[in-house]
Amino acid sequence: MSTPTDLSALRIDREPKPSGPPWPAYFAIAVALLTVAGLFATGQFKKRAVEVQVGTAEATGGGTASIDGISANGYVVARTKASVSSKILGRLTWIGVTEGTLLQAGQLIARIEDQDYVAAAASAQANSAQVAAQLGQAKRELSRAQTLKRENVVSDADLEKAESQVDVLTAQLASTRAQASLAEASLANTRIIAPFAGTVLRKDAEVGEIVAPSSAGGGLTRTAIVTMADLRTLEVEVDVNEAYIAQVRNGQESRITLDAYPDTSFRGKVRQVVPTADRQKATVLVKVSILDRDSRILPEMGAKVVFVARGADAAAAPRRVLAPTAAVVQGGADAHVWVVEEGKVRRVNVGVGGVRGDRTEIRQGLAGGETLVIQPPASLQDGAKVQVASR
């Protein structure tokens, strides 16, 4: 007989089971939350900066008014200056100057290889001498023919032949002498001489280099041997704002101060007001002669010129600011620009004036030096982040 089964251990679980997702779902949710937090931390969900092109608002720096007169900045230049080059192609064999060498007009600066030119000149001279000898013989024969003709010993044809021979040799002699002169000139061109009295500012070639006229220069060919200038003709060239140019006259006295020697001033006089203006900068070029000669004054030095005022000439003139025309947004009677500051843009309302080339005069709203957005997009908003596009 079999043993009965014990059913006392059987129970029915009547407790409700949890309704949440299993633990893998919790893990997935946690990973998603961490990913979103990481994106926020790295700035991936931040608004991306707008890429823009920029330009600069410039204040025209022609000059400023003061109680002493108007002033302008410029540079010292030499009115007589030249880059001395050779007239023929050749290899430099000797150069006898360095920077600072004083030269007289016609003084030898350098020499080019001349063996070919010496031989050509000697050959031309020899040809000329040969024709000259032949001409002398022809003239003697003509003289004898004329004597015999008077005695009726030779015919008219013989006399005419002797005369023609003299004429032909005379023309040949003129041609050979011209060729000899050309050969001598070519030989002389191998010697580079100073075109005027002055000082060597820069030595542009060395012995062994190929030199040539500017029109024949190449990548490995020097087109100048030295650069020289007459330091007695030094003057200052400055750009004067159009608003002040009416106060500057030819012959007007001025004071010149060099950036290198700010504690020393030199007397000057306006030599020329160039009769044209620069439409981009709204300035006029003025050349000022230096009356006080000083060895410290060198070409290309920065200088400031103060034009001595005459009575009401010292009246103040308006300052002008020019901005790229493409940066000015005009809508009806209003105009504005977008100024970039610390990676953000700020809208600035401006008053505009005339257009000068690709720049527009800003009469109010800008002081000069601001960075402006070129061709700003219509969606640009005040305070938006921007990134300057690489050019």
Q: What percent of the chain has pLDDT over 90?
A: 40
Q: Higher model confidence: residue 59 or residue 208?
A: 208
Q: How does pLDDT run across 220-233, given as a tens digit for each residue?
A: 677 889 999 999 99
Picking from 252, 188, 200, 241, the residue whose alpha carbon sits closest to that of residue 224 is 200
Give residue 87's Cα distance to chain centre: 25
pLDDT at 312 over 80: no
Least confident interval from 86-90, 159-163, 212-216, 268-272 = 212-216
pLDDT at 74 over 90: yes
- Average model confidence (pLDDT) across the chain: 82
The three-class DSSP label of residue 137 is helix
Q: What percent of the chain has pLDDT over 70?
A: 80
Strand order across the beta sheet in which 58-59 lies: 58-59, 321-324, 359-364, 351-356
The predicted structure's pLDDT at residue 7: 55
Q: How confident is the model at residue 159 (pLDDT cuts 50, 70, 90)?
A: confident
Alpha carbons 56 and 359: distance in angstroms, whole number: 10
Mean of pLDDT values over 374-384? 86
The predicted structure's pLDDT at residue 34: 67
Alpha carbons 369 and 319: distance in angstroms, whole number: 13
CA atoms within 13 A on the CB side of 94: 11
Q: How does pLDDT run across 259-284, given as a tens digit for each residue?
A: 988 878 888 999 999 999 998 888 99
Q: How does pLDDT run across 5-23, given as a tens digit for each residue?
A: 555 555 555 555 555 555 5
- Which residues lie below 8 Å from residue 390, measured CB to CB, with a gap of 6+? none
Q: How confident is the model at residue 218 (pLDDT cuts 50, 70, 90)?
A: low
Instruction: Report all structural domains of the chain as residue ranges with CATH numbers, in order of start.
Output: 53-60+319-388 (2.40.420.20), 69-80+232-314 (2.40.30.170), 88-113+190-229 (2.40.50.100), 115-187 (1.10.287)
Q: What is the DSSP letter of 246?
A: G
Q: How confident is the model at residue 44 (pLDDT cuts 50, 70, 90)?
A: very low
Q: Is the pTM of this model over 0.85?
A: no
Structure tokens at 145: 């023919």
The predicted structure's pLDDT at residue 253: 92
- Which residues lie below 8 Å from residue 264, measured CB to CB, with a gap of 6+? 257, 258
pLDDT at 208 over 50: yes
Mean of pLDDT values over 26-51? 59
* H-helix or E-strand spanning residue 33: helix 23-42
Q: How does pLDDT run across 102-145, given as a tens digit for each residue?
A: 999 999 999 999 999 999 999 999 999 999 999 999 999 888 88
Q: Which long-range contacts (CB under 8 A, 24 or more apart) does 290-297 make?
A: 290/76, 290/234, 290/235, 290/236, 290/256, 290/266, 291/266, 291/267, 292/266, 292/267, 293/232, 294/266, 296/258, 296/260, 296/261, 297/76, 297/231, 297/234, 297/258, 297/266
Structure tokens at 115: 């063996």
